[in-house]
Copies of this chain bind each other. A is one copy, B any other.
């Protein structure tokens, strides 16, 4: 049951429309995007936005909660659909990066912690980690909190770099983190090694 289910149909539509627009705007224009801009792109007046979200913080939280919900869904699908728990873990870690959470993280600053959405996500993740411990693929000295921490760092991305390069580096780092978590020797990271030479070429290119 969503938190918006008690609203009138049009109000709920506005709520979702604004959150979706805000996610896009924050991802594209950075964390300082103007509230008016969000309203304009959502096709509503600023007052409508403020009726739904009393201030900027509330909007940011809403987008964050929405993202956490998506991450939880991701964890659940991975868990139920993958045969091996470590594969589910791997799929979860890799999938999170696509949510474009980065701009929000710095905006929120230290003002809020993870909240309810985070609690549900952590529970979902815990189920995967427990299973991965049981199957013996995950080191016993690595916990669900470690996975959350690693994901939290990975989702931020490398915005100063060309998109394709940033993507490759994120994938390779994700692989290395997962390799470090394995109880047994890991396979090679995806694609060829990222040498200094290749990094130079792709940055300047």
Other-chain contact of A113, B108, B154, B160, B172 (Cβ < 8 Å): B160
Asked if A195 lies at the interface with its beta carbon under 8 angstroms from chain B, I say: yes
Q: Tally chain A residues at the interface, Cβ within 8 Å.
A: 68
Specify the main secondary structure of chain A where it touches its partner: helix
Question: With A and B bound together, what is the CA distance between A148 and B177 in angstroms?
Answer: 14
How many copies of this chain? 4
B145→A198 contact, CB < 8 A: yes
Leading 4 A-B pairs by shortest Cβ distance: A149-B169, A145-B199, A145-B194, A179-B180
Which residues of A come within 8 Å of B, CB atoms? 30-32, 102-103, 105-106, 108-114, 118-119, 122-123, 125-126, 129, 139-146, 148-150, 152-154, 156-163, 169-170, 172-173, 175-181, 185-186, 188-189, 192-196, 198-200, 203-204
